Chains A and B, each alone.
Chain A
Amino acid sequence: MSPMHNAGAYMIPLEEYPTILESENIYDAIRILKENLHKNNSPWQGHRLVVALNNNSEPVGILTLKCLLKAVCLRLMAEDNSFKSESVSWYFIDEMRAKGKVTVREVMRPLEQFSLDYNNSVFKAARIFINQGINYLPIKKDQKVVGILNSRELFFKYYETTRFKALNRHWLSNNSSVSAFFKKSALRLIGN
């Protein structure tokens, strides 16, 4: 496969991302994200996620904007009277929130949840983005996460490299003789 179709070619190395300990409060994570987005005195330039580390400084998860929205959903659950009356979990969620102790670990996405090998294709990455509804995909090399593939970066850099010449045509339409062969075989099988 051409290197320009490798998912790894479009990733951002892990060390470029801001980090936070998984035991830290999510308010600290929000502050880090906001500071990061205002790098170079310009809005929106920075990364939109924080890499979560364990006590051994090993990356264990990513905290994205949608992970932070989960914390809002926790608050809405805690305020829901029907949830309060029906679920024992309400007590623990309420305690956690009351002490301001919603930590990064509670809402982050573990690195192991979705990942892709460095040499897998960008098309496979696109399929995972679509099917799983995610925007960031950890990239592994020799079983170790080395970077994050971002759907925005994938789109822009892939366009720069290929101008999307490989797209916009279904594989089968480019190989109409193949599709005609299958159709003919099918018709022969059913006796037409």
Chain B
Amino acid sequence: MGINAEQVMIPIDEYPIVFENDSVENAAKILIEQYQTKDSSWQGYESLLVINNMHEKVGFLTLRCILKAMELNDTVTVYHNLYQLFTNGIKIAPDLSVKDLMRPLHISYVKSHDDVEKAIQIIMRNNTNSVFVHDKEDIVGIIRVIDILWCLEDLI
């Protein structure tokens, strides 16, 4: 019998939470606090579960999402956005919030009883570091690439 997604995933309840209207700066602070409470190792979580005002799960804020905020300061991106402003008139947001950068939950997921190979195919196809695990239309966990390492020899 193969290894299924549920056997490898991290349950969603273990993830720290941030509100979708929070600032990116606040989200970064939460991630840092998590890092420091785990003895400064990255066994902690490199993502935050995003909830709305009704406490419904709406997305995930990953490290890569926060790096996107840094990318906006790169000269090439700035010049590109200047061009857009000149030609199309882009909306300038003075502050980035979590919902501007988060990864939505409904994109690219596996079911809890799916083989972990399906999760690997989705990760490689989408070039991401993780994939969501759903059960009965609700997210129940996440599989990160590092979680797959421990069963990799059985999969190759």
Segment with Cβ contacts to A, from B5-13, B52-60, B88-96, B102-110: B88-96
CB of A54 within 8 Å of the partner chain: no
Q: Which residue of B lies closest to A107 (CB)?
A: B156
Give Cα distance in the complex from A92 to B123, angstroms.
Answer: 25
B101 to chain A minimum Cβ distance, whole angstroms, is 11
Residue among B43, B63, B81 making CB contact with A44, cutoff 8 Å: B43
Flag if B149 contacts A171 (CB, 8 Å): no
Residue among A73, A170, A183 making CB contact with B120, cutoff 8 Å: A73
CB of A154 within 8 Å of the partner chain: yes
Residue among B70, B75, B92 making CB contact with A167, cutoff 8 Å: B70
Flag if A133 contacts B67 (CB, 8 Å): no
With A126-B67, A167-B24, A169-B95 in contact, is A69–B72 under 8 Å at CB?
no
Interface residues of A (CB under 8 A from B): 26-27, 30, 33-34, 37, 42-45, 48, 65-66, 68-73, 75-76, 102, 121-124, 126-127, 129-130, 133, 135, 151-152, 154-156, 158-159, 163-164, 166-173, 179, 182-183, 186
A2 to chain B minimum Cβ distance, whole angstroms, is 13
Residue among B32, B68, B74, B86 making CB contact with A182, cutoff 8 Å: B86
Flag if A72 contacts B28 (CB, 8 Å): no
Residue among B71, B86, B123 making CB contact with A126, cutoff 8 Å: B71
Flag if B128 contacts A133 (CB, 8 Å): yes
Give Cα distance in the complex from A66 to B64, angstroms.
Answer: 16
Interface of A is mostly: helix
With A127-B74, A172-B92 in contact, is A72–B155 under 8 Å at CB?
yes
With A69-B120, A182-B86 in contact, is A152–B155 under 8 Å at CB?
no
Flag if B25 contacts A164 (CB, 8 Å): yes
In the complex, chain A residues whose CB is within 8 Å of the CB of B32: 156, 159
In the complex, chain A residues whose CB is within 8 Å of the CB of B76: 124, 127
Give Cα distance in the complex from A6 to B42, angstroms.
Answer: 23
Residue among B25, B35, B121 making CB contact with A168, cutoff 8 Å: B25
Q: What class of interface size applies to chain B in its complex with A?
A: 35 or more
CB of B46 within 8 Å of the partner chain: yes
Give Cα distance in the complex from A101 to B127, angstroms.
Answer: 26
Flag if B67 contacts A179 (CB, 8 Å): no
Flag if B156 contacts A26 (CB, 8 Å): yes
In the complex, chain A residues whose CB is within 8 Å of the CB of B67: 126, 129-130, 151, 154-155
Flag if A151 contacts B86 (CB, 8 Å): no
A128 to chain B minimum Cβ distance, whole angstroms, is 9
Q: Which residue of A lies closest to B63 (CB)?
A: A155
Q: Which residue of A lies closest to B76 (CB)?
A: A127
**Known contacts A123-B75, A171-B72; 7 further A-B pairs (Cβ under 8 A):** A71-B156, A130-B71, A152-B63, A163-B25, A167-B24, A167-B72, A172-B85
CB of B148 within 8 Å of the partner chain: yes
Flag if B149 contacts A170 (CB, 8 Å): no
Give Cα distance in the complex from A186 to B69, angstroms.
Answer: 27
With A65-B145, A71-B156 in contact, is A129–B92 under 8 Å at CB?
no
With A65-B145, A173-B93 in contact, is A152–B24 under 8 Å at CB?
no
With A30-B153, A33-B149, A129-B64 in contact, is A42–B121 under 8 Å at CB?
no
* A-facing residues in B119-156 (Cβ within 8 Å): 120-121, 123-124, 127-129, 145-146, 148-150, 152-153, 155-156
